[in-house]
Chain A
């Protein structure tokens, strides 16, 4: 039992030490980013698979609208980007990157929906630091993480995975990426999948 305790202490120390590691964070956030350290890469079990109809949802956006996945059926391909939490290292850079990648989405007739489990005021303050975003940012705060849970990307601590879903105009899931929460997905991988869906 004592041995197990010692190992737990060491493991905690390991996490604390690695909390200091940076991720190429932007000066834009200065000291406002909370660094949770290195987290368990994934911590959920997917409830959907490629070929399934994407579960519909309606969520509030930071622009004050209600956005439903279903409103894009027959009109646009959809990319859903779940990021774990506002004011954390990797998430704070991922969407600003997408903010200068609009051309790839337009070219492939796609919209982007960014979702976190944070509430609207938090998302408002956080995204203000990113500049003006061209895509919708939705809050899956209440019932807490219900959409993330429906897709099977809600982690045991109540935040979502870092996940991407590409959904075609028929509302069918064509690509799923649930990556290591500590690592930002490469832009080119999403672009390749968008092009595949657009060509179908």
Chain B
């Protein structure tokens, strides 16, 4: 009986540590590969077109037709993300209004712990023009090291479909021009 209890306790410990190994991972760093993040293709045609996606149901970030994808990890409930929203709209406009950038740089947001309703409310509140995706069950959040919000990744995508992380940063973005220049350099586009 004592042995059975010991075995059960050991098993309990193993399960605990297995469960937290992934939960406690660090955010992916610059030069790393992005963990596989499967997102649902937006239903809005303009957004499908923006991302260069076909009508398939799901996609991963390196499948986006771009040289650099900027990913904002946000939450509708995060005060800094709320403050950052209009600023990110300006970044989007800056990219879209620059003919040499608009086809190479794309911007998306992932709302961690946010339902579709909450993400749409965030979009409507701040009139966000780029695609936003919900991560209701925190499954993506766990894969990227349970970062605080906002958090930014920039992913460089090569012509052969391979990719690497160019930028991994907690907190708000500072200077957009410097940010874009830095990404152009790191992606080998300058």
Contacts and interface: CB of A to CB of B under 8 A. Distances in A.
Interface of A: 3, 6-7, 10, 13-14, 17-18, 20-28, 93-94, 96-97, 99-101, 129-131, 184, 186-188, 191
A15 to B, nearest CB: 10
A188 B77 contact: no
A40 to B, nearest CB: 18
A93 B78 contact: yes
B115 to A, nearest CB: 5
B113 A26 contact: no
B12 A24 contact: no
Q: Which of A13, A97, A101 has the most CB of B within 10 A?
A: A97
B171 interface: yes
A97 B16 contact: no
Contacts of B82: 96, 99-100, 131
Interface in B84-122: 112-113, 115, 117-118, 121-122
B170 A27 contact: yes
Contacts of B24: 20
A93 to B, nearest CB: 4
A17 B17 CA distance: 8
Given A13-B16, A23-B113, A187-B121, 17 more contacts: A10-B9, A20-B23, A21-B23, A21-B146, A24-B75, A24-B78, A24-B113, A24-B149, A25-B149, A27-B78, A27-B172, A93-B77, A93-B78, A94-B77, A100-B125, A131-B82, A131-B83
B77 A28 contact: no
Interface of B: 5, 9, 12-13, 16-17, 20, 23-24, 75-83, 112-113, 115, 117-118, 121-122, 125, 138, 141, 146-151, 170-172
Contacts of A22: 141, 146-148
A17 B19 CA distance: 10
Given A18-B20, A27-B172, A186 B117 contact: yes
A25 to B, nearest CB: 5
B75 A186 contact: no
A26 B122 CA distance: 15
A26 B76 contact: no
A18 B16 CA distance: 9
A10 B80 contact: no
B33 to A, nearest CB: 22
Contacts of A3: 5
A6 B171 CA distance: 42
A130 B79 contact: yes
A25 B118 contact: no
Contact of B80 (A21, A26, A94): A26
B77 A27 contact: no
A68 B118 CA distance: 31
A92 B147 CA distance: 16
B5 A24 contact: no
Q: Which of A20, A27, A100, A130 has the most CB of B within 10 A?
A: A27
